[in-house]
């Protein structure tokens, strides 16, 4: 009897969890489709010359730029992976892309007011500034390590 | 409790509204550009289609992993383990729960505030928040674009960075409290 009850609860739990997952993914799907469509536009309208003039290959400049853009933009991290991965194919350096995807998830300029009001202004501000600096540092160290490993 | 739920529902429906508006704007942009240069728009659509075709199987895997993580972890379960722990266990659990936590960040802010008020160290809150950047269910898509080695190296450095960040925030907080005490 008890086993039957536990089984029913587990089944309901699993169904609810997957329903939640599909619902949450569905909510971010319009943005995902929109971003992929924008990447399509980007690929045919932005010449690679322009990309290489912005991302020059200079480690610090590229990484800083990647972190700055990633800090301003927000949303589901999956979007940042797709944008980053496609930018990489277009010739943007891995330093910039890595910094971009790290800052996207660790720095939250858009969420800053909410974070400050709930967890405190000082905490939110320091945390975001440090996250920005760490996004640069972690990106550089990651790519350099990768270059040594591979 | 109910008002918290209502707030979250309101926020999520607002998010859906924004995401649909964003998609509509992009479609309008496509229509406008089609009339200006139809050839380039066809190229853009074809490039977008290629991306979709490549990532669709990975997205299914992502949804599956999201479902599993939803089943295994809820803010309620986390609050059981993430209390006033200090020392290695506290740092370890904060990092671990940050990594396996899921869902929008605003769901977790109230829980963290609650834990902070009950004595959770500021550094541990920072560690939890930083490690939320590591998304296990999204691993397939990250590996698809950047490769296994990149993901492993990046995640190791991010965990290390989260611990440094937590410690720095704690030191700064202690100094601030000391200074305030001296001034008072």
pLDDT single digits (tens) B2-60: 565 666 666 667 777 888 898 999 999 999 999 998 888 999 999 999 998 888 888 88
Pick the residue with more confidence: A145 or A16? A145
Q: Chain A interface, mutation test: which of B129, B152, B160, B173, most A Cβ atoms within 10 Å?
A: B129
Cα separation of B41 and A89, whole Å?
Answer: 20
Closest Cβ–Cβ partner in B15, B23, B172 for A126:
B172
CB within 8 Å: A137 and B161: yes
Copy the structure tokens of residue B16.
């859906």
List the single residue in B with minimal CA-CA distance to A104. Answer: B133
Cα separation of A34 and A118, whole Å?
Answer: 31
Cα separation of A63 and A79, whole Å?
Answer: 19
CB within 8 Å: B125 and A123: yes
pLDDT, tens only, B74-119: 766 666 666 555 678 888 888 998 898 877 676 677 778 877 777 7
Q: pLDDT at position A16, please?
A: 86
Cα separation of A141 and A125, whole Å?
Answer: 24
Find out whether A64 and A132 touch, Cβ atoms under 8 Å.
no
Copy the structure tokens of residue B84.
């006033």
Report how far apart, in Å, the C-alpha atoms of A63 and of each of A55, A58, A59, A78, A138 are: 9, 8, 6, 20, 10
pLDDT, tens only, A88-117: 998 899 999 999 999 999 998 877 888 888
CB within 8 Å: B19 and A118: no
Model confidence at A69, in pLDDT bands (50, 70, 90)? very high
- Report the predicted TM-score, pTM, of the whole model to 2 decimal places: 0.82
B-chain CB neighbours of A22 within 8 Å are 63, 67
Q: pLDDT at position A107, please?
A: 92
List the single residue in A with minimal CA-CA distance to B117. Answer: A119
Nearest one of B142, B163, B144 to B154, comparing CA atoms: B142
Distance from CA of B138 to the nearest CA of A (A): 7
Find out whether A31 and B23 touch, Cβ atoms under 8 Å.
yes
Residues 6+ apart with CB under 8 A from A81: A101, B138, B141, B142, B145, B146
DSSP class of residue B6 equals H
Distance from CA of B168 to the nearest CA of A (A): 9
Q: Chain A interface, mutation test: which of B22, B67, B72, most A Cβ atoms within 10 Å?
A: B67
Lowest mean pLDDT among A53-67, A92-106, A127-141, B60-74: B60-74
Helices (H) and strands (E) in chain A, counts: 7, 0
Interval B115-128 mean pLDDT: 84
Unique residue bearing structure tokens 């379960």: B77
Closest Cβ–Cβ partner in A24, A27, A78 for B141:
A78
Q: Mean pLDDT: which of A22-26, B61-65, B125-129, B174-178 is highest? A: B125-129
B-chain CB neighbours of A13 within 8 Å are 71
Task: Quote ipTM for the complex.
Answer: 0.84
CB within 8 Å: B43 and A43: yes
Unique residue bearing structure tokens 């480690």: A59
Distance from CA of A76 to the nearest CA of B (A): 9
Residues 6+ apart with CB under 8 A from A49: none
CB within 8 Å: A40 and B51: yes
Copy the structure tokens of residue A41.
């536009």
């Amino acid at each position: 009897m008890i086993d039957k009850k536990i089984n029913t609860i587990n089944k309901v739990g699993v169904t609810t969890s997957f329903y939640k997952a599909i619902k949450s993914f569905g909510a971010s799907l319009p943005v995902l489709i929109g971003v992929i469509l924008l990447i399509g536009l980007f690929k045919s309208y932005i010449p690679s010359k322009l990309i290489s003039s912005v991302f020059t290959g200079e480690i610090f400049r590229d990484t800083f730029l990647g972190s700055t853009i990633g800090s301003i933009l927000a949303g589901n991290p999956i979007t940042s992976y797709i944008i980053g991965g496609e930018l990489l194919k277009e010739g943007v350096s891995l330093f910039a892309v890595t910094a971009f995807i790290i800052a996207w998830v660790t720095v939250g300029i858009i969420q800053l007011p909410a974070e400050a009001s709930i967890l405190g202004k000082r905490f939110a501000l320091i945390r975001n500034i440090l996250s920005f600096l760490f996004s640069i540092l972690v990106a550089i160290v990651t790519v350099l390590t990768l270059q040594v490993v591979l | 409790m109910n008002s918290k739920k209502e707030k979250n529902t309101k926020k999520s429906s607002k998010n859906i509204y924004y995401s649909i508006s964003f998609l509509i704007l992009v479609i309008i942009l496509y229509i406008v550009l089609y009339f200006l240069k139809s050839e380039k728009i066809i190229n853009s659509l074809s490039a977008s289609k290629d991306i979709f075709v490549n990532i669709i199987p990975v997205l299914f895997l992502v949804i599956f992993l999201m479902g599993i993580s939803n089943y295994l972890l809820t803010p309620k379960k986390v609050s059981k383990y993430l209390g006033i722990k200090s020392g290695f266990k506290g740092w370890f659990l904060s990092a671990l729960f940050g990594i396996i936590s899921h869902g929008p960040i605003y769901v977790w802010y109230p829980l963290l505030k609650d834990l902070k008020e009950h004595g959770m160290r500021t550094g541990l809150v920072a560690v939890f928040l930083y490690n939320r950047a590591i998304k296990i269910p999204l691993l397939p898509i990250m590996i698809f674009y950047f490769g296994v080695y990149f993901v492993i190296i990046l995640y190791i450095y991010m965990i290390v960075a989260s611990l440094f960040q937590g410690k720095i925030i704690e030191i700064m907080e202690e100094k601030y409290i000391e200074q305030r005490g001296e001034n008072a």
